[in-house]
């Protein structure tokens, strides 16, 4: 109470706050924040639909970034564009005095998974174009609505504090957050609230079981020659890339079983009768702690050198991304979870349930209705005995820099496959819109808790120091020579953007993107869908609720 008073909360707020309340914003303030989110429900729908329609992959989120930054600017935030040397990154700040709370979510999508929303079968808007096959179109709109709501309550009640909204650029490439940290974007931040689309509504803390990883492309340089007439004159870069893959896969037997590694050949040469002088192979190396990621990376570099030596070629490598293992902050998660429970799940309609069912049936997924209840808090105890999840998320870099949690918010259909068209089907429908509304409420309420309650932030920092940093320490593999891969996806978008622009959502003409596309919601499922429904319980596409509320589907 004293702290609240010193922070200048209004007399009304002090009156309505229960005397026994240890540490939270007042009920009246939270009710006001939730109402301010409800008042933005239309704008949330427009933002979610608009970003879905832009459908931009990593580093090419040009329209998305400009659109969302402009909305923040119009709402009184000070926008700095192009932060950390990344054109589509920005920060939007507001406020004075008090703590600084960062709010972030990813904005990029995935190559090749264009999908018409509101259709339960795979139906690209444009074949081969990128699409929001993970639902990154909803997270930052939700955070913006939360920030605007919290800002309004803070202004009205003269609550000091600062907000910083930031986009996760190129998350599907694990491409930016380590660079954000290196650029000092979080150096004054007291706590970070992150959000990711989910099928449940929850959060968690502790070691979340996601791997750290490094993404690196090895480029081999040889010498071209006529492959039949004078092969002895050539040195094949493709041979080197293949030897690297063979050597890595023999070495794999003698690596810890905990590692995950995988690659694609991104350049295999031109045609067989020309000895390829250039070839490239792109690896992801994943492990569970910083030192092990560093060791895997070192081993990869050594094997690449060996392959170059074996073939008389040379090799260079470029780091394309990095992600630290994920660790959620306990005091933040507990504060957030109280708000998640208070907000509760969206009121799903029969239409929402019918569409979710149609998606599951049409794609042979396990049948499971949209959840009625929030997901239990995910803790080290609830996850005990479960294997690590394998995948990665570069929010880890921020988690090892400032106390951070991820809100999972319920904007998608249970059991869809993430990184896949099925995870895009609901992402511009009322399911996505309603999930973003409840998520924004919980975030706004948690912001108010953190801003008005110094004890939560002090506890969060103590937890990070005494628990998280005792387990490991932030040690990314980035060197001063490593830079964000900002040209990634440039060519594909130069080719596809003109066709995609015809499908951008126009909110001035259409109430929703579904209406613009002429899609009836929830549509009618062909009778054939239902033939499969009795026998499909073995199909479990997503990783399930092992990391419920935290990690389902949000991993590269």
Nearer to Zn ion, 292 or 411 (CB): 411
Q: Considering the complex, what minimum distance in angstroms separates the CB of residue 420 from Zn ion?
A: 12
Q: Which of 207, 192, 480 is nearest to 326 (CA)?
A: 207
Distances (CA, A) of 213 to 38, 68, 255, 477, 525: 39, 29, 15, 10, 41
For Zn ion, the binding residues in 525-554 under the rule CB under 5 A are: 554
CB distance 170 to 488 below 8 Å: yes
Q: Considering the complex, what minimum distance in angstroms separates the CB of residue 556 from Zn ion?
A: 7
Q: Considering the complex, what minimum distance in angstroms separates the CB of residue 432 from Zn ion?
A: 14
How far is Cα 318 from Cα 296, in angstroms, rounded to an integer? 15
Nearer to Zn ion, 195 or 333 (CB): 195
How far is Cα 260 from Cα 92, in angstroms, rounded to an integer? 36
For Zn ion, the binding residues in 130-169 under the rule CB under 5 A are: 134
Nearer to Zn ion, 4 or 554 (CB): 554
Q: Considering the complex, what minimum distance in angstroms separates the CB of residue 40 from Zn ion?
A: 23
Q: Considering the complex, what minimum distance in angstroms separates the CB of residue 136 from Zn ion?
A: 6
Max Cα separation, the chain? 91
Q: Considering the complex, what minimum distance in angstroms separates the CB of residue 482 from Zn ion?
A: 22
Site string for Zn ion, 75-114 (x = CB under 5 A): ----------------------------------------
How far is Cα 254 from Cα 442, in angstroms, rounded to an integer? 46
Question: Which two tokens mark 92?
Answer: 């939007």
Q: Considering the complex, what minimum distance in angstroms separates the CB of residue 411 from Zn ion?
A: 12
CB distance 189 to 336 below 8 Å: no
Nearer to Zn ion, 197 or 451 (CB): 197
DSSP letter for each residue of 180-220: HHHTTTTTT-SEEEEEEEESS-B-B-EE--PPEEEEEEEEE
- Residue 177 within binding range of Zn ion, rule CB under 5 A: no
Site string for Zn ion, 116-135 (x = CB under 5 A): ------------------x-
CB distance 503 to 53 below 8 Å: yes
Size of the site for Zn ion (CB under 5 A): 2
Q: Considering the complex, what minimum distance in angstroms separates the CB of residue 554 from Zn ion?
A: 4
528 CB contacts (<8 Å, ≥6 apart)? none
Nearer to Zn ion, 33 or 140 (CB): 140
SS3 (DSSP) at 223: strand
How far is Cα 528 from Cα 260, in angstroms, rounded to an integer? 39
Nearer to Zn ion, 4 or 286 (CB): 286
Nearer to Zn ion, 132 or 151 (CB): 132
SS3 (DSSP) at 537: coil
Nearer to Zn ion, 134 or 217 (CB): 134
Query: Residue number with the shortest CB distance to Zn ion?
Result: 554
Q: Considering the complex, what minimum distance in angstroms separates the CB of residue 139 from Zn ion?
A: 8
CB distance 325 to 290 below 8 Å: yes
CB distance 164 to 101 below 8 Å: yes
Nearer to Zn ion, 134 or 207 (CB): 134
CB distance 427 to 137 below 8 Å: yes
Nearer to Zn ion, 294 or 419 (CB): 419
Residues making contact with Zn ion (CB under 5 A): 134, 554
């Amino acid at each position: 109470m004293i702290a609240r008073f010193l922070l200048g909360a209004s007399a009304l707020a002090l009156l309505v706050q229960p005397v026994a309340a240890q540490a939270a914003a007042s009920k009246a303030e939270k009710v006001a924040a939730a109402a301010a989110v409800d008042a933005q429900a239309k704008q949330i729908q427009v933002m979610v639909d608009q970003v879905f329609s832009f459908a931009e992959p990593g580093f090419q989120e040009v329209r998305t970034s400009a659109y969302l930054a402009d909305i923040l600017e119009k709402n009184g935030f000070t926008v700095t564009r192009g932060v950390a040397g990344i054109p589509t990154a920005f920060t939007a700040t507001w406020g004075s005095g008090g703590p600084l709370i960062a709010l972030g979510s990813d904005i990029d999508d995935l190559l090749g998974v264009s999908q018409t929303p509101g259709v339960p079968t795979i139906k690209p808007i444009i074949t081969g174009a990128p699409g929001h096959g993970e639902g990154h179109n909803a997270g930052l709109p939700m955070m913006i609505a939360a920030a605007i709501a919290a800002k309004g309550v803070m202004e009205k009640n003269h609550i000091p504090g600062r907000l910083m909204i930031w986009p996760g650029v190129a998350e599907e490439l694990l491409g930016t957050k380590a660079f954000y940290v290196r650029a000092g974007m979080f150096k004054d931040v007291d706590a970070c609230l992150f959000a990711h689309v989910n099928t449940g509504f929850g959060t968690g803390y502790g070691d979340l079981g996601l791997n750290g990883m490094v993404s690196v492309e090895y480029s081999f340089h040889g010498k071209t020659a006529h492959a039949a007439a004078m092969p002895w004159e050539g040195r094949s870069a493709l041979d080197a890339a293949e030897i690297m893959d063979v050597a890595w896969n023999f070495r794999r037997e003698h690596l810890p079983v905990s590692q995950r590694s995988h690659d694609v050949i991104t350049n295999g040469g031109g045609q067989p009768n020309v000895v390829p002088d250039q070839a490239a192979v792109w690896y992801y190396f994943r492990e569970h702690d910083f030192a092990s990621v560093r060791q895997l990376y070192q081993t990869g570099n050594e094997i690449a050198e060996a392959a170059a030596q074996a073939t008389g070629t040379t090799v260079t490598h470029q780091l394309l991304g990095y992600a630290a293992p994920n660790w959620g902050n306990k005091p933040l998660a507990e504060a957030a979870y109280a708000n998640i429970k208070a907000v509760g799940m969206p009121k799903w309609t029969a239409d929402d349930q019918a569409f979710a069912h149609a998606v599951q049936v049409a794609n042979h997924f396990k049948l499971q209705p949209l959840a009625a209840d929030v997901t239990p808090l995910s803790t080290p105890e609830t996850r005990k005995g479960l294997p690590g999840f394998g995948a990665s998320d570069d929010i880890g870099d921020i988690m090892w820099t400032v106390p951070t949690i991820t809100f999972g918010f319920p904007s998608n259909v249970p059991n869809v496959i993430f990184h896949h068209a099925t995870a895009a089907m609901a992402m511009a429908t009322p399911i996505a819109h309603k999930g973003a509304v409840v998520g924004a409420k919980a975030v706004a309420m948690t912001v108010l808790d953190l801003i008005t309650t110094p004890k939560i932030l002090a506890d969060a920092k103590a937890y990070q120091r005494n628990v998280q940093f005792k387990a490991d320490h932030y040690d990314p593999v980035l060197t001063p020579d490593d830079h964000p891969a900002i040209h990634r996806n440039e060519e594909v978008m130069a080719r596809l953007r003109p066709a995609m622009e015809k499908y951008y959502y126009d909110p001035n003409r259409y109430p929703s993107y579904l209406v613009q596309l002429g899609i009836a919601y929830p549509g009618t499922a062909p009778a054939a869908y239902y033939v499969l429904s009795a026998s499909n319980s073995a199909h479990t596409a997503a990783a399930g609720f092992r990391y419920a509320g935290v990690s389902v589907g949000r991993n590269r």
